[in-house]
Amino acid sequence: MKLWIGGAIFVAILMGITWMMAGGDIGANDTMGSLAMLGALATAVIAIFVSIKYVRQIQEEKAGGELADENWDGIGEYKNELPMGWAVLFLATTVWAVWYYLVGYPLNAYSQIGEYNEEVAIHDASFADKHANLDAQTLVKMGESVFIVQCSQCHGLAADGIDGKAANLNKRIEEKSVRHAIVNGANNLGYAAPMPDRNGLFNMNTGALITDAEIATVSKYVANGMKGAGEDVFQGTCAACHGSDGKGMEFVAPSIADFNPELVATVLKHGKKGVIGAMPAFDLLNEQQIKAVGAYVTSLSK
Amino acid sequence: MFHWLEKHPFFFAVAVFVTIAFAGLVEILPNFAEASRPTIGTKPYSTLELAGRHVYIKNSCNACHSQLIRPFKSETDRYGAYSLSGEYAYDRPFLWGSKRTGPDLMRIGNVRTTDWHENHMWDPAGVVPGSIMPAYRWMFANEADVDTAYAEQVTVNKVFNVPYNKPIPMKDGSTETVPMAASLDAAKAEALADAKVIVADMKNQDVKDMVASGKIPEIVALIAYLNSLK
The CATH class of the A136-172+258-302 domain is mainly alpha
Q: How confident is the model at residue A25 (pLDDT cuts 50, 70, 90)?
A: low
Least reliable range by pLDDT among A53-67, B90-104, B180-194: A53-67
Query: How many Å lie between the alpha carbon of B116 and the closest alpha carbon of chain A?
Result: 7
Do A146 and A265 meet the contact criterion of CB atoms below 8 Å apart?
no
- Mean of pLDDT values over A271-277: 84
Minimal Cβ distance to B115: which of A123, A153, A278: A278
Write out chain A residues lying below 8 Å of B114, CB-based.
Answer: 277-278
Report how far residue A229's alpha carbon sits from residue A219's, in angstroms, rounded to the nearest whole number. Answer: 10
The whole-number pLDDT of residue A24 equals 66
> pLDDT tens digits for B1-55?
788 998 999 999 999 999 999 999 998 998 888 888 899 999 999 999 999 999 9
**Phi (first) and psi of residue B134, to 5 degrees:** -75, 160
Query: How many Å lie between the alpha carbon of B200 and the closest alpha carbon of chain A?
Result: 10
- Mean of pLDDT values over A136-149: 91
List the beta bridge partners of residue A243: none
Report how far residue A65's alpha carbon sits from residue A70's, in angstroms, rounded to the nearest whole number. Answer: 15
**Looking at the predicted structure, is the pLDDT value of residue A79 above 80?**
yes
Q: Other C-beta atoms within 10 Å of B108: how many?
A: 22
Name the percent of chain B lying above pLDDT 90: 76
Q: Where in chain A is the domain with CATH 1.10.760.10?
A: 136-172+258-302
Residue B112: C-alpha distances to residues A282, B106, B108 (Å): 10, 12, 6
Write out chain B residues lying below 8 Å of A127, CB-based.
Answer: none
Nearest-by-CA chain B residue for A271: B111
Instruction: Name the percent of chain B in helix, strand, coil, to the closest 5.
Output: 55, 5, 40
Site from A115, A163, A284 to mutate, B interface, most B CB atoms within 10 angstroms = A284
CATH 1.10.760.10 fits domain B47-228: yes
Please check whether residue A101 touches B, CB under 8 A: no
Is the confidence metric ipTM above 0.85 for this complex? no
Q: How confident is the model at residue B90 (pLDDT cuts 50, 70, 90)?
A: very high
- Mean of pLDDT values over A235-243: 85
Please check whether residue B76 touches A, CB under 8 A: yes
Q: How confident is the model at residue A26 (pLDDT cuts 50, 70, 90)?
A: low
Name the average pLDDT for chain B: 92
User: CB A276 to CB B115 under 8 A?
Assistant: yes
- Mean of pLDDT values over A11-35: 79
Q: How confident is the model at residue A94 (pLDDT cuts 50, 70, 90)?
A: very high
**What 3-state DSSP class applies to B175?**
strand
The whole-number pLDDT of residue B190 equals 94
Amino acid type, A203: N
Question: Where do the structural domains in chain B lie, given as residue ranges?
Answer: 2-36, 47-228
The whole-number pLDDT of residue B36 equals 83
Nearest-by-CA chain B residue for A277: B115
Minimal Cβ distance to B80: which of A115, A166, A284: A284
Please check whether residue A153 touches B, CB under 8 A: yes
Amino acid type, B88: Y
Whether the bond into B93 is cis, omega within 30 of 0: yes
In this structure, which long-range contacts are made by residues A97-103, counting pairs with CB atoms below 8 Å and at least 24 apart in sequence? none
Query: How many Å lie between the alpha carbon of B157 and the closest alpha carbon of chain A?
Result: 32
Q: How confident is the model at residue A238 (pLDDT cuts 50, 70, 90)?
A: confident
User: CB B71 to CB A278 under 8 A?
Assistant: no
Query: How many Å lie between the alpha carbon of A63 and the closest alpha carbon of chain B?
Result: 29
Q: How confident is the model at residue A87 (pLDDT cuts 50, 70, 90)?
A: very high
> pLDDT tens digits for B110-128?
889 999 999 999 999 988 8
**What 3-state DSSP class applies to B107?**
coil
What b/e string do you get for B13-23 counting C-beta neighbours within 10 Å, with b at 16 or more?
eeeeeeeeeee
> pLDDT tens digits for B166-214?
999 998 889 999 999 999 999 999 999 999 999 998 988 999 999 999 9
Q: What is the DSSP letter of A206?
A: T
Question: If we measure between CA atoms, which residue out of A18, A67, A62 comes closest to residue A42?
Answer: A18
Q: How confident is the model at residue A84 (pLDDT cuts 50, 70, 90)?
A: very high
Q: How confident is the model at residue A28 (pLDDT cuts 50, 70, 90)?
A: low
Query: How many Å lie between the alpha carbon of B147 and the closest alpha carbon of chain A?
Result: 30
> pLDDT tens digits for A192-219?
788 888 888 888 888 788 888 888 888 8
Do B162 and B156 meet the contact criterion of CB atoms below 8 Å apart?
yes
Q: What is the DSSP letter of A51?
A: H
Write out chain B residues lying below 8 Å of A165, CB-based.
Answer: 115-116, 119, 126-127
Query: What is the rounded (10 degree) CA torsion for B120, B126, B132, B136?
Result: 40
The whole-number pLDDT of residue A27 equals 64
Nearest-by-CA chain B residue for A162: B127
